[in-house]
């Protein structure tokens, strides 16, 4: 399968920890990458590879994976973390890329 | 500073063609694969096409295969997307995006601001 599945919406209380998941067969072979997109803005890469953060991304963002499921964890969520989050990876063929449908994170 | 600036979007009728361009600056263009990613209004991200550093490896989403053609000019630091036989479902904001790798790996570390394509009669 070349699809990645995400929950449409997740909420977290301010300062608490939240996990956003991404499922797909390609994740058994390739790492997921994670992007944050705020309204009216281009996406921003927050996690790539096994668990790597671009230098500008706060340490409260981390990634993990098990089997066909990848996860993005936000430890101590802040109000500014409210956004849409997308996972992606190569698909099973290796020459194509696929995005998940996105998860809207609400910080309460 | 890495910059990706898209151009060429607009309002076109179904069945027509459009050519998008992306001007890249602030990095060594031929050290990276490049992508086009689109986002329909109010919808999620959809990968459209990717091209590796020397154009030897190219991939297309099934939704555009046979209608869209990606190309790059490393001498001019530019990326292009030729879009033919446009349909209403191609209406979207089209992002030019850089991969972290030479190959099409899907790790997009820089995005342009996008150019809007509207297909409507």
Chain A and chain B share a number of CB contacts under 8 A equal to 61
Mean pLDDT of chain A, nearest integer: 95
pLDDT in tens, B57-111: 999 999 999 999 999 999 999 999 999 999 999 999 999 999 999 999 999 999 9
Report CB contact under 8 Å: B45, A86.
Answer: yes
Chain A: closest CA distance from residue B42 (Å): 10
* Cα–Cα distance for residue pair B112/B3, rounded to 1 Å: 7
pLDDT at A1 over 60: no
In angstroms, what CA-CA distances link A8 with A11, A96, A105, B2?
Answer: 11, 23, 9, 32
Residues of A in contact with B100 (CB under 8 A): 48
Instruction: Pull the structure tokens for residue B110.
Output: 């820089």
pLDDT in tens, A22-45: 999 999 999 999 999 999 999 999
Report CB contact under 8 Å: B44, A49.
Answer: no
């Amino acid at each position: 399968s070349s699809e990645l599945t995400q929950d449409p919406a997740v909420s977290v209380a301010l300062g608490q920890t939240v996990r956003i998941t991404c499922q797909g067969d390609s994740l058994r072979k390739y790492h997921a990458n994670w992007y944050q997109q705020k309204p009216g803005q281009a996406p921003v890469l927050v996690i790539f590879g096994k668990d790597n953060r671009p230098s500008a991304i706060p340490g409260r963002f981390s990634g993990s994976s098990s089997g066909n499921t990848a996860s993005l964890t936000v430890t101590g969520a802040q109000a500014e973390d409210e956004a849409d989050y997308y996972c992606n990876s190569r698909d099973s063929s290796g020459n194509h890329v696929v995005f998940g449908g996105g998860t809207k994170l609400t910080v309460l | 500073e890495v910059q990706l600036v898209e151009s060429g979007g607009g309002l076109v009728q179904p069945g027509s063609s459009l050519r998008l361009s992306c001007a890249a600056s602030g990095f060594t263009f031929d050290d990276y694969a490049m992508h086009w990613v689109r986002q329909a209004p109010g919808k999620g991200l959809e990968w459209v096409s990717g091209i590796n550093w020397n154009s030897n490896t190219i991939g297309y989403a099934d939704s555009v295969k046979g209608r869209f053609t990606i190309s790059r000019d490393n001498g001019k630091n530019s990326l292009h997307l030729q879009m033919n036989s446009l349909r209403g479902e191609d209406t979207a904001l089209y992002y030019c995006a850089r991969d972290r790798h030479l190959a099409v790996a899907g790790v997009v570390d820089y995005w342009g601001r996008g150019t809007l394509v509207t297909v409507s009669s």
